[in-house]
Structure 1
């Protein structure tokens, strides 16, 4: 396959396999999604989903969360890892949302990325899944698969994001972000596939003899 053929095959395969992919992080509004995505850094979505119900019992909106102590937040989110930094960020962003945004999560990258603990990837997930704005958040899973599938040379997640945006239609970005994540979890895991095992890898590169060497972000 040439690159255009790989793109078409991957697009069709993902659309057939995951026609309506759900957001894997449990949430009920833009604020709960923002906090859940923040918690998911270096933590599984499944673990986050077991922790957030207790956090919402403590406070389920920025007004109430801003009043909580970092220690109380940290005590709940400790299973997610990096709890000191994440607890401080959750309290801090909640205070900023109240002070500067009337308690509303902003729907633009500039204001989102100005919040504590919110990087470009987290902002992209919120923009895409909470507000429906076209975005293509790239995490390490997507970065890895994009390299295995020959969609990017993979020097950085920023480059991978630019390459994927160029290759796929903007109208599909939000769904594709989730579809690639689910394919990575189900078929093309870090240990289960080295670029020569899953169906997409074997069909896009049938003659690949050696494991695909990946460039880490």
Structure 2
């Protein structure tokens, strides 16, 4: 028992010492454009990355990016494999009970259903990425939920007839629907969550203060609006 307690204490110390390190590790998925993805140069790219890099510059932090599968992205933050999550993650009460969040750097964004034809989403078989606000919403509607590890797998399931529809962030689905004449949006958009924030361990209070201060300055001087317009042309930047 004593060894277990000492191990837990050591983990707590490590998890609470992000700013004592030479490098702050920024965790992202790298598979959810335009929020985050791997570009042609095999580097992480997207809105989350631009936001994170600007935050690090303003907070005078030395940062490096780490990619991690979505379904384990919070557990690996908590266990100390990286120090933040910047991965298009919506702020929810359920997540906030496990980790802490910065102030929002993206507004509460519409989610949308897409399908190959006319579908009643309240009784259909609907795909969503595992562990997302969309999967939780589908589960609450009475539809049959089928979860996939990546959003691309969920889209493929619609195309091959494995499921009837997909629910995901509309910004992610829009270019896919635009390029595929067989896919279309159905039903009304749904606003879920409280906007997107940078996730941190609850013990990293000093890091949170630095990140919040950087994000606040980006809102005030227009840099955040500039990055929003770059990745999401026409989006409402007043939030």
Q: TM-score if structure 1 supplies the norm length?
A: 0.30
More strand by share: 2
Structure number with greater CO (CA < 8 Å, separation at least 6) is 2
